[in-house]
A and B are shown apart, each in its own frame.
Chain A
């Protein structure tokens, strides 16, 4: 059975009687033990999609349409209590900000063991033993001492390791990692990412790896979904996406990633312009104000999602864009 399947997900915010669509159409899926990357600029709706799966959309936010199937069950239809049962033990989440994501006044031991005691029914003793194992597993030395400590006594990288241990602690089948390394030093980013990826593989846990950096997912994810303006605009295996990015936005993202296989002085080209404001209506393709290939149809009609084998893309001019890129010989 497919582990997680997000289908045509739309998320709205309603405030003071006014409603805006923040996520228009998110969709991707992954099997047990796989890693699925979700990539896009900040504001593209990645976090909201993950939070919807956790049932932790904040006040005023709601799933407007679509489904999120976890092991075949639509979690958007679950009661709060049933969803709560799933959290931690079915789906766990790692957040972006290690500095603020741990409770400053509770010990590491408390934060690491409370879930296990509740969800796995472990005794205080057994939970502590497992906590020590987990800390060792995420590469924290002297776990006995660390258990007694508080978040402020740990570095950012160390805290994120603790977060990974917490996420793994109740033996979930799926972990949603929302930009787990964005706030860390560059040198530590790679370590944490490799650790997360390895542990999920070792434990057979599915991983949704959310990031705004297309460069870092190549090595860790089997499949990639690219999100723009609240929509998944391209979906493919990591290899296909790198070799043949079809959506102009994906191409732009790739051009802004430093690559080892190109001459060092190849200039990085960030995608010019800013992401769309979700409160302003924008007909047609949401990328058209920034797109070098935009034509009249782009400004009027939403491009449908079309598949060529396993490679899916939503762009009226994908053929042209892809062809031209090949001719430029950048790939």
Chain B
């Protein structure tokens, strides 16, 4: 298991390096000169030259890459080249907790709903409960998240006035203010995710319930609870965890979209503004962080695999 974990961890680092390198070179190959963009109104030829020198853009691409990479390892992602020119890490450090809060809350809500829904619809197959769950899952999957976001704002913020419509309050200012601002976007982001997981749990459980080892477990006269939680679920969750890994990516991209609807200045907002402003250091930094979330949540899923499945852990 230890060597498996180490292998997976090193693999993730390699992927991160590849992503960083790709992002660096791609941004430099994209047409459009950031300096020209920065100095759109003011600035003649020599100002542009000076700027280039100060940003190190006059060196060869490989040297630039080396410097950039070295700085990145030390946690220096450069400065924004637009507006206030804040350090990229500062902009990201402000945005990241918002996106993470939103994604994690969406994740938790989605799982809390999906797991019991999946179990109920599998154990009461073809019942009214099952039909209801299937219908809700279908609805949840077919509603675009930004559309759901707007719907939620109209109903719960505008009409009922139960919850704030937009903005973000850090957790340090209290649980309720934080939660009340995040709950609507979290529902908007998590609904499709929840629907996918509930469906997956249902079909995975139905498969497991037919298995020989479940028949063995029943032949022991175990209680329904022991059968479900001691035998069926641990097996049924194995394929579900894979899907969770993939669907988590979907959830992050959903968060990026929904942030904009709720005017939460998270990674998605930062990324979009960066692109509009041709603020390349910001874009690089944001893409890097989003990729890191992807890669490491996948790593987490792989490790979880080992925890739940002894065939992986012990081989």
How many whole Å from B182's CB to the nearest CB in chain A?
Answer: 35
* Residue interface bits B213-228, CB-to-A below 8 A is 1, else 0: 1011111111100100
Q: Which of B213, B221, B309 contacts A119 (CB 8 A)?
A: B221
- B 72-87 to A, binary, CB cutoff 8 A, 1 in contact else 0: 0000000000000000
Asked, given contacts A103-B231, A103-B235, whether A84 binds B221 with beta carbons under 8 Å apart, the answer is yes
Nearest CB of chain B from residue A105's CB, rounded to whole Å: 5
How many chain A residues sit at the interface, stated as a range, is 20 to 34
When distances are taken between beta carbons in the complex, the residues of chain A under 8 Å from B211 are 100
Contact with B along A153-185 (1 / 0, CB 8 A): 100000000010010001000000000000000
The 8 A CB mask of A35-55 against B (1 = contact, 0 = none) is: 000000000000000000010
Contact digits for B271-315, partner A, Cβ 8 Å, 1 yes 0 no = 000000000000000000000000000000000000011110010
A128 at interface, CB cutoff 8 A: no
Q: Could you tell me which residues of chain B, from 221 to 246, have a CB within 8 Å of some CB in chain A?
A: 221-223, 226, 230-231, 234-235, 238
Q: Are B219 and A114 in contact (CB-based, < 8 A)?
A: no
CB-CB under 8 A for A103 and B311, given A114-B230, A118-B223: no
- Asked whether A101 lies within 8 Å of B218 as measured between CB atoms, the reply is no
A153 to B314, alpha carbons, bound, how many Å?
A: 9
Contact B219 A105 (CB under 8 A): no
Contact in complex: A110, B212 (CB < 8 Å): no
Which of A85, A105, A107, A163: most chain B Cβ within 10 A? A105
A66-100 vs B: 1/0 string, CB under 8 Å?
A: 00000000000000000011111100110101001
B216 touches A102 (CB 8 A): yes
- Complex Cα spacing A44 to B102, Å: 60
In whole Å, how far is B62's beta carbon from the nearest beta carbon of chain A? 50
A56 at the interface (CB under 8 A from B): yes
Q: Which residue of B lies closest to A102 (CB)?
A: B213
From B215, B309, B311, give the contact of A95 (CB < 8 A).
B215
Docked-complex contact A54 and B219, CB < 8 angstroms: yes
Query: Are A150's CB and B217's CB within 8 A?
Result: no
* Nearest chain B residue, comparing its CB with the CB of A55: B218
Which of B215, B231, B310 lies in contact with A150, CB distance below 8 A?
A: B310
CA of A80 to CA of B219 in the docked complex: distance in angstroms?
A: 12
Cβ contacts under 8 Å, B216 to chain A? 95, 101-103, 163, 166
Contact call B220/A170, Cβ cutoff below 8 A: yes
Given contacts A104-B235, A106-B231, contact A87 B213 (CB under 8 A): no
Give complex CA distance A88, B227 in Å.
14
- Please, how many angstroms separate the alpha-carbon atoms of A304 and B230 in the complex? 48
Min CB–CB distance A147 → chain B (angstroms): 13
A206 at interface, CB cutoff 8 A: no
**Which of B217, B219, B223, B308 makes the CB contact (< 8 A) with A103?**
B217
Given A95-B216, A100-B211, A152-B311, 18 more pairs with CB closer than 8 A: A84-B221, A84-B223, A85-B221, A88-B220, A89-B221, A92-B219, A100-B212, A101-B216, A102-B213, A103-B235, A105-B309, A106-B231, A118-B221, A118-B223, A119-B220, A119-B221, A163-B216, A166-B220
Q: List 11 A-B contacts (CB under 8 A).
A: A56-B218, A86-B221, A93-B219, A97-B212, A105-B308, A106-B234, A114-B220, A114-B222, A114-B226, A114-B230, A163-B216
List of 5 A-B pairs having minimum Cβ-Cβ separation, nearest first:
A87-B221, A88-B221, A100-B212, A150-B310, A115-B220
